[in-house]
A and B are shown apart, each in its own frame.
Chain A
Amino acid sequence: MDHPLTVSHPLTGGRTRQYAKSQWLFVALLVYLLICAVGIIGGGFKAATGDQARELFTFASNPFAGLVIGTLATALIQSSSTVTSIIVGLVAGGLPVGIAVPMVMGANIGTSVTNTIVSMGHVREREGFARAFSAATVHDFFNILSVVIFLPLEMAFGVLEKLGGWLAAPFFDLGSASINSLNFVKAATAPIVNTAKQLPALLGDQAGGILMILLGVVLIFIAITFIGKLLKKLMVGKAKQIMHTAIGRGPLSGIFSGTLVTVLVQSSSTTTSLMVPLAGSNAFGLRQIYPFTLGANIGTCITAVLAATAVIGNAQAALQIAFIHLAYNVLGVIVIYGVPFLRPLPVNAALWMGDKVAEHKSLALVYILTVFFLVPGLCLGISSLM
């Protein structure tokens, strides 16, 4: 029973509810802005490149270059949702799906730099730092292993491209009941996107198109940053509830909880960074955190799928790349977590790395610079010479 003193005043309670309602309205507005922004990028890319998108991105037709672009862009922007949403927009504007696939793989690697930096906050306590750094890098090692497995498969057989195509096709093969005729969101975003499309008419196709792309990127960044901040506040109670439910249950429950929490807060970086203090305090072991981290990879795909449902232009390809991102992350979990000899590899590597950086703390900096910037930069340089 509530203590009489803890019962909120009807006016205060009403004000709180009203405040929450206004925050949710703001979230809805930001989601609308995000979808508009993806459409603006698509329109801008189409205007700027005409039918030359493939030629323009010839430098990225080498899959390693695409992978590096995705990694570097995400490591710098600190948000895989932003980068994958931009990629969806570019695909809608004519970027070939095959070129975009390694980019979304790279976005997965790039996003894990955030929690690695967060783990550096634990540097003052040796054991805690080792645990925190391991909790952060288990995500890095999983994502790198995932690329090692799936990039060659993609290069040889185009597995993900085909899978994404199959998943997207039903939404466009239903005749009159297709996604286009039922898409109210597209109709709602059309006024904003069409207004932005006046830019090429005013400034010329190329300058106007580039300006549209820049505008779209800025809007996506703003929308995703504020959605993340607001949802973090609004959904913390729900996230707590989900995590409480997962305690003492198996890894599947951990994966599911990680997915749900990430969908709620719309950011895999938030979920994986949250694991860092939980591991640092020693309440959660690395083997408990690992499945939760994998769930974060799956949950983060929802943003791009949402954005892809309402793009203007090559909508089927946009939905295809969003589904490729989802399929890649789901398959990564199934293969790496499902195959017994692969499952412990990220955990063992992260534990080893945690011990090493606790011993020689400057190695943490070397690790970040090497994995997220130096190696991708070198790969980019080498692939441009090929």
Chain B
Amino acid sequence: MTVIKKNEVTYDAIVIGSGISGGYAAMELCTKGYKTLILERGRMVKRGEYPTANKDTWEFPNQNLLSQEEIEKHYSKQNGLSLWVYQDTKHWINKEDEYPYDEDKPFDWIRGYHVGGRSLMWGRHCYRWSDIDFGANAKEGIAIDWPIRYKDIEPWYDYVETFVGVSGQKEGLKQVPNGRFLPPFPLNCAEQHFSNQVATLPVAEKTVTICLFSVVSEIVYDKATGKAFGVKIIDAETREATKFFLRIVLNSRSEEFPNGLGNSNGELGHNLMDHHYGMGVSASVKGFEDAYYKGRKPLGFYIPRFTNIDEKTKRKEYFRGFGYQGTINRGQNHPEGVMGEELKQHIFKPDPYMLYMTCFGEILPYHENKTFLNFDKKDKNGMPIITFDAKLRENENGTTQGCGVKCGVEMLAAAGCEDIQSYNDLTSPGACIHEMGTARVGHNSKASVLNKWNQMHDVPNVFVTDGSFMTSLGTKPPSITYITLTARAVDYVHKQM
């Protein structure tokens, strides 16, 4: 991998952003022999350079907590759930005072600017979308229809899962098509370690060029050819502007052009979605007291969506549904109201097994939920400030929400769990770090930004393959679907050349 200083050079392809989609795009382009440039606005992170990954809680100051003062100064929005920002993660999360954004309605935008992006932080659950997901918009008359169905991308799921290494058990569910699985982790369905540093960038390494601290300010459009012919960047360290020239752009930052490139129908920036993250259940699980576990499993269990998948499970109160991710483990045993020698006797024995599961609810694609650039306000690089204006609406607030908790409680009670607790909080969009939409794929240029190959209707040599292409949200963690459509888009580009 060549790390270059900025120069005016021509490339076959330019990938904007080195996150999970950008890394995969660069690998595919390099493998097919294209001279590829990655523009990354943040710093370099090399494979293995993860300063805190192998440390235990007690190796950090203050039991891994940040001071309240530090959180207020740098992370107050992103730590809205008190869940993400700790001593062992803060170097992957932007300081808000350095990278500001605005909210017309509360939005927890959790992200870091560095090579690999959030592929260093993701939850690693990988489940295929099914036609229950792809067909939902058309069936229910919501937003616009997806221009693809499962059969269009099934071979591409096979292709990327084989590279990534996804472990799991073939359950044969119609809402979760079977994947190309490695053997499952004992008891649970889980996914092996995958980040851009470990996987895609080493494959691209021999031929890819990466340019750091490069904030893309503009994709330069050529009126004569109707194509993009370059990318303008601003150096985040020197504030100097440079141009790169190209033949194809794989754009992973489409929301940077809300009134500009690719936005002739005004759809860019609209239909912003994220999973509703405010519901969960916990309980104690009896039995297995004489057994223990060792090591750290990468993941716990997953319960896929089970409502509105067919006539039998149809709910009249709401559209779509929710899935759950959870873990069962034994914690510290310190019962309330006990002191002295008796407390010590408890402490030396492990706690009963505790189950925790979080609900991931589907938020519908609403045109009114949007993000846009405020050109009247600029950041330190002179870039317009991004503003979020999105909220949970009727389908999420009224019905889906309560049902996610109620179903969870019923399941745990039926499974014989005790001490069942639940929570049902209204969280802001963004909090689940699954923000999607804003440059959706569709059948035609009237209501979508991209065609079924992730290619911009307006500018045919610009492709968008990050989560912004999503036309609806689904309930599953999205990364595997992003990289599947990325690999498919690169193959399409290759066949057009």
- A and B found bound together: no
What residues of chain A have their CB less than 8 Å away from a CB belonging to chain B? none
